[in-house]
Amino acid sequence: MIPRSLGSAARRLTAASTRACASSAYAARRPCPPSHGDVAGDDEILPTPHRPEPEERRRGEHRREFSFITMASRDHSSLTQQLLEFQHDTVDEVGAEHDPFMDLKARFMDFKQQNYVEKFSNYQNLAEQQTPKFMVVACADSRVCPTSILGFQPGEAFTVRNIANLVPPYEHGGSETSAGLEFAVNSLQVQNVLVVGHSRCGGIQALMSMKDDSSSGSFIKKWVSFGKSARLSTKAAAGNLSFDMQCTHCEKESINSSLLNLLTHPWIEKRVNECTLSLHGGYYNFVDCTFEKWTLEYREGMEGGSKYAIRNRSTWS
């Protein structure tokens, strides 16, 4: 049984708490009094909310951006942790028979047994360093794999693949292709840069289909616009031909355009002038399985007054 004195105290405490809650609720509902800059009438006017100054807004945006970065960091850290904790050879039983990676796994195991194990010392050397002789810029088209076409072995070719195998000019600034070229030429000191184009290129078709006044937000159209000079040359030389034949012409024209864009990179031009780097074009026709190869010569005072010429052209068929 609770003593009477304690029961009275509890009742007084409960009543006080109830009055405080009611007072707080009323205060929350009651309109704020007018501020010094407001006009009071029959209805009370709420004060104008504080609007942050530009510097405050910038700090607020920075905090939101930092919050986003922090959240993204937590997200990918969490994913990485899941990978670290993942057990080998764990495959969901449901739908495993339809997993496209099962075939890739079999191919990888064949590669490991027939290549890696048999050439173990070679792969151990590659684990320490790479010394490729070629830097290859090829199209991302799934039908055009330079390793399969030209038989490159691991360590022989540093490769970048993009839409329509384009090389932007140096003035454009950074891109994945430019970064790859800088690393291959300056760090790996490759001896050859090979730009490989191909037949029925969708990127070139997009380039040739562009309107002159096009202002599309498409990433593809913005990228292939680096080939506009090749498009103009094609229109001038083959404008009377069918669209497909114009595209075929432009596929080769864009390779030469990319070769000239390579020379706008100062570290490439320097090594070409020093004869420690050669620039080559290649065209793979997968319709009849032929490959054309040529070399761009670049030096002052050539015949005809030009600085550029095509040399060592050959067709492999």
Q: How does 244-255 read in b/e, with b if 16+ C-beta sit within 10 Å?
A: eebbbbbbbbbb
Cβ atoms of residues 194 and 255 within 8 Å: no
Q: What is the spatial distance between Cα 221 and Cα 140, in angstroms, rounded to a whole number? A: 15
Cβ atoms of residues 234 and 249 within 8 Å: yes
pLDDT band of residue 275 (cuts 50, 70, 90) is very high
More confident residue, 210 or 158: 158
Cβ atoms of residues 134 and 189 within 8 Å: no
Provide the pLDDT for residue 8.
47
Where is mean pLDDT largest: 6-20, 92-106, 151-165, 204-218?
A: 151-165
Residue 59, φ and ψ in degrees, nearest 5: -65, -40
Query: What proportion of the chain, given as a percentage, has pLDDT over 90?
Result: 61
Provide the pLDDT for residue 47.
44
Q: Give Rg (Cα) of the chain.
A: 34
Whether 210 has a pLDDT exceeding 70, the answer reads: yes
Region 130-142 average pLDDT:
97
Whether 44 has a pLDDT exceeding 60, the answer reads: no
Expressed in percent and rounded to 5, the helix, strand and coil fractions of the chain are 55, 15, 35
Instruction: Extract the annotated binding site for Zn(2+).
Output: 139, 141, 198, 201
Q: What is the spatial distance between Cα 172 and Cα 222, in angstroms, rounded to a whole number? A: 12
Cβ atoms of residues 238 and 249 within 8 Å: yes
Whether 115 has a pLDDT exceeding 60, the answer reads: yes
Region 75-86 average pLDDT:
74
Whether 6 has a pLDDT exceeding 90, the answer reads: no
More confident residue, 72 or 285: 285
Domains recognised in the chain with CATH numbers: 131-316 (3.40.1050.10)
What's this model's pTM, rounded to 2 decimal places? Answer: 0.71
Whether 213 has a pLDDT exceeding 50, the answer reads: yes
Cβ atoms of residues 55 and 62 within 8 Å: no
How many angstroms separate the Cα of 28 from the Cα of each of 17, 23, 38, 44, 293? 17, 9, 20, 15, 80
Cβ atoms of residues 256 and 249 within 8 Å: no
Provide the pLDDT for residue 246.
97
**Mean pLDDT across the chain:** 81
Whether 209 has a pLDDT exceeding 90, the answer reads: yes
Provide the pLDDT for residue 77.
75
Q: What is the spatial distance between Cα 16 and Cα 24, in angstroms, rounded to a whole number? A: 12
Among 26-35, 78-87, 124-133, 274-283, the range scoring the smallest mean pLDDT is 26-35
pLDDT band of residue 193 (cuts 50, 70, 90) is very high
Beta bridge partners, 83, equal: none
Burial of 1: CB neighbours in 10 Å, binned 0-12, 13-18, 19+: exposed
Instruction: Extract the annotated binding site.
Output: 139, 141, 198, 201
pLDDT digit string, tens, across residues 286-313: 999 999 999 999 987 777 778 999 999 9
Tokens matching residue 69: 């970065």
Number of Cα atoms under 13 Å in the Cβ half of residue 134 = 21
Provide the pLDDT for residue 33.
44
Instruction: Output the DSSP codes for 8-21.
Output: HHHHHHHHHHHHHH
Region 97-109 average pLDDT:
89
**Helix 228-238 with 202-209: angle, nearest 10 deg:** 70
